[in-house]
Structure 1
């Protein structure tokens, strides 16, 4: 392994969405955590967390950084910041209020990129995970992300029964490709979730305050395409907080060309805020049925938010190179 002679590459490796689970002895299968992706940089006594876009998250998650600071070597790790519900399931919606309530917060770690000045990204995945498990200190705030070998359909069924987001399939001998969306990591969703951009909101009705529903869109080439409206998933506090973020973005310019329901009562905003929603299905016209607001995302720019379309498994999955052990 080569010595690190420059600043570590903190861009995360990304997975390709596919449409069905599969079994393969050359692959491992992990939980698809429903949270914020974060790269950790640790050294004895200090640690930092960085978002997918390279923003420093350390001040927001000081207890996680304190736990990572117990690692006895300089290291760069990949994982997901998650909040757990009463059943121990990761929930993106809960993460919005983590730190302001008693919701358990964890850093679920699944990869090790650099260790003690050495670049491990060319190591096979299972070898990196073995090294990761050895250095990770025991802490209620840190969780080593376990895996099943070869049994992707079993892992997917377990995720679906537990109402988890899905599974991540990883080629057992895959290298770590920083900043690249690769077919050596695949994600299979057990529930429908999508990143969207808020382009407007409707005026409130009845006893609701602030706004009625959010008008949503995704990027389609150089334009914005209407993707539906989300009127549920809010608390009174989140309505107020989100309204405060939307108000400075109010615009007289309509960001989308399509006519939308209740347009006369719609207030348009500049397409800056990225949200996560869950929904039942896509319509033929490209709208989400029954979208439910889960929370805002800060780890992806609005310009990169497109409709996520799963690749057929045969096209997404590369030929198996190695058998997991």
Structure 2
């Protein structure tokens, strides 16, 4: 079918496409209108997934491995690179090898989404990443034996064009074609349609779970039902609202008192006393001693421990694994994994 275009239209189209990178030129003609030419922003809020316990298969969805690490956004303008946490903290000094790898990329200007990870065996481990993510001194970072890798899974901006309105599958194609993937930079592969089969495989391999993403979805700067989390083990963030004294020969503290926000109040979710190394105990205790207060921030519901307790300002957020919730909203068999710096305490709710 011939299309009648105004005089000069092809010339304007050709000039526009000539300015694009090779990767952008490969976008189907019918999707070109979804490309938005604009100045590269200094910040883009990340898209967040919702938790679900209904594992499914669907030809209109793709399924990625859920990586147990630190969510990061990459901002690159020419040789300038910034690795940012999802709450806008610059992490360049913590992950200098990732900065160096990004500086070598031929693609000059982009904004990408992904996860910073460390491995314990073949499994990504947030606990292992803790050995790197809280180091501050250049010498400590340089001497650290914990290797980190950055897994890209989305591309939101490329060479003067906002990609967020493009379908996810097109954004992933652009990502794969625009970035040179060589350790420590890696591409997050996905599988089509067979979510249930992949989920069983993920849990058998002791992965954290899967992320299901609607294949034709745009990139939303908020939590969206177009991205869903299938977790093999219950795991989420909790506000640290206090701690108990150590018993016997234990250093630092005994257990952390955890909570989540509901209707504006911090609800007590129980305590976690396992998962710590001696170093964690000492470092956490030092941090917590700086934010102690006289009264608990938790809602007064009668469940709070009364003896040998230190209360804290609700500022610190920890990642905790557990088997299940009790009927009274307490954690069963919790295990501490590490501190999170990419989430504000006020944003911590019970995932359901």
Select 1:279's aligned residue among 294, 313, 322.
322
CA-based RMSD of the aligned residues comes to: 1.4
Quote the residue 1:313 is aligned against: none
Aligned to 1:76: 111
> Does 2:280 match 1:246?
no
Aligned pairs, number: 307
For residue 6 of structure 1, report the CA deviation from its aligned partner. 5.4
Match of 2:84 in 1: 50
* CA–CA separation in structure 1 for the residues paired with 2:181 and 2:260: 41
Counterparts of 1:93 and 1:290, CA distance in 2 = 17
Q: How does 1:226-245 map to 2 (within 5 A)?
A: 226-245=268-287
Offset at residue 43 of structure 1 (A): 3.7
Which 5+ residue runs of structure 1 have no aligned equivalent? 310-325
* 1:254-281 Cα distance to aligned partner (Å, 9 max, x none): 2221334642111111111000000011
Which of 124, 132, 136 lines up with 2:167 in the alignment? Answer: 124
Deviation at 1:104, TM superposition (A): 2.6
Equivalent residue for 1:85?
120
How far did residue 45 of structure 1 move? Answer: 3.0
- Structure 2 segments unaligned to the other structure (5+ residues): 1-34, 133-140
User: Which residue of 1 is the match for residue 251 of structure 2?
Assistant: 209
Cα distance in structure 1, aligned partners of 2:225 and 2:55: 14
CA distance in structure 2 between the partners assigned to 1:208 and 1:106 by the alignment: 34
1:259 aligns with 2:302: yes
Per the alignment, residue 150 of structure 1 pairs with 193
**Cα offsets for 1:264-304 (capped at 9, x unmatched):** 11111111100000001100000001111111111111111
TM-superposed deviation, 1:165: 1.1
Matched position secondary structure for 1:263: coil
* Counterpart for residue 185 of structure 1: 227
Q: Which of 103, 116, 129 is residue 95 of structure 1 equivalent to?
A: 129
Contact in 1 for aligned 2:154/2:172 (Cα 8 Å): yes
The TM-score with structure 2 as length reference comes to 0.84
1:2 aligned onto 2:45: no
Q: Distance in 2 between matches of 1:261 and 1:123?
A: 49
Larger Rg: 2
Give runs of ≥4 in structure 1 deviating > 6 Å: none
Counterpart CA distance in 2 for 1:260 and 1:101 is: 42
Q: 1:240 to 1:174 in 2, by over 3 A?
A: same
Residue equivalent to 2:56: 22
Partner of 2:347: 304
Residues 46 and 68, structure 1, Cα contact 8 Å, conserved in 2: no
TM-score normalised to the size of structure 1? Answer: 0.91
1-side partners of 2:240 and 2:263: how far apart?
A: 17
**Cα displacement (A) at 1:44:** 4.1
The answer as to 2:261 corresponding to 1:219 is: yes
The structure with the greater share of residues assigned to helix is 2
Choose which of 159, 162, 165 in structure 1 pairs with 2:208: 165
Residue of structure 2 aligned with 1:176, choices 195, 210, 219:
219
